[in-house]
């Protein structure tokens, strides 16, 4: 579980986008994006002990990129943040979570009834049959998601809402789009004032039905591979706001 129970402060992180900001291909991802709210989990490491990179090592133009630029690095052409994950089973994972990932998780949880809790992302999925590109995660002993945002190779975007807090009973899939496969898109997910909402490509927000309540939560974002083939995403914008 990424988040801890430290005191929550006010956080507003700038939303970087190629349309407004030039990404520097010579910098590590932490020089183009504010990664200070996150810890990064990678598919490298050892059995039951995947590599986790803290924010202190991610931030700045000379921040972390994995050796050999295999899983997490800056694209040399456009400066996008590249996040790759092998197919299922070909990586280091935690017990009970067998799927591979290169994924950020917030380290400070927040109240779901607060007035502002927002995650925005601008990206393109360049490989993978089904990829989880964002999550709203419960911050409690369940250590399970409340909602997961999926992209599939047909361009379908779906938000899966868990039926039970303990997980394992399936999800209510709410479909958005589809988009043209392999094209850049953006999304925003909000979990504020007790309501869960989602918007794709600047469209109207849709309020999503919840099947249980959770008082505290945190966001995840990245490449959480749901398929057996390798997955690859290029990120052009990422922000959280509380």
Among residues 158, 82, 157, which one has the least CA distance to residue 126? 82
Tens-place pLDDT, residues 58-110: 999 999 999 899 999 999 999 999 999 999 778 999 988 889 999 999 999 99
Residue 15 lies in a domain: no
- The mean pLDDT of 217-238, rounded to a whole number, is 97
- The mean pLDDT of 17-21, rounded to a whole number, is 47
| Model pTM score | 0.92
Identify the pLDDT of residue 96: 83
189 CB burial (10 A radius; 0-12, 13-18, 19+): buried
Residue 115 lies in a domain: yes
Residue 21 lies in a domain: no
**What CATH number corresponds to the domain at position 90?**
2.60.120.200
Tens-place pLDDT, residues 178-188: 999 999 999 99
Number of domains in the chain: 1
Q: Within 10 A of 94 (CB to CB), how many other CB atoms are there? A: 16
Residue 168 lies in a domain: yes
Residue span of the structural domain in which 81 resides: 29-241
- The mean pLDDT of 196-217, rounded to a whole number, is 97
Identify the pLDDT of residue 6: 38
DSSP string, 201-236: TT---EEEP-SS--SEEEEEEEEEE-SSS-EEEEEE
Residue 23 lies in a domain: no
Identify the pLDDT of residue 14: 41
Residue 112 lies in a domain: yes
Identify the pLDDT of residue 2: 60
Identify the pLDDT of residue 142: 82
User: Which H or E run contains 150?
Assistant: strand 145-152
């Amino acid at each position: 579980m990424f988040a801890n129970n430290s005191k929550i402060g006010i956080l507003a992180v700038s939303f970087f986008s190629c349309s407004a900001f030039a990404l520097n291909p010579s910098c590590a991802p932490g020089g183009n994006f504010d990664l200070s709210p996150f810890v990064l989990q990678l598919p490298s490491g050892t059995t039951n002990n995947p590599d986790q990179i803290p924010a202190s090592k991610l931030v700045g133009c000379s921040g972390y990129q994995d050796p050999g630029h295999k899983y997490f690095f800056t694209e040399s052409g456009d400066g996008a943040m590249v996040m790759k994950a092998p197919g299922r089973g070909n990586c280091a994972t935690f017990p009970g979570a067998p799927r591979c990932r290169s994924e950020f998780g917030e380290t400070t949880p927040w109240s779901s009834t607060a007035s502002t809790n927002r995650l925005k992302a601008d990206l393109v999925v360049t490989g993978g049959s089904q990829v989880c590109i964002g999550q709203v995660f419960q911050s409690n002993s369940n250590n399970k998601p409340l909602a997961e945002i999926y992209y599939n190779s047909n361009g379908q975007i779906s938000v899966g809402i868990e039926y039970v807090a303990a997980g394992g009973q399936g999800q209510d899939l709410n479909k958005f789009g589809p988009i043209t496969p392999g094209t850049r898109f953006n999304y925003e997910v909000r979990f504020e004032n007790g309501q869960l909402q989602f918007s794709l490509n600047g469209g109207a927000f849709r309020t999503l039905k919840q099947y249980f309540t959770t008082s505290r939560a945190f966001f995840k974002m990245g490449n959480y591979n749901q398929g057996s083939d390798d997955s690859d995403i290029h990120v052009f914008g990422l922000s959280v706001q509380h």
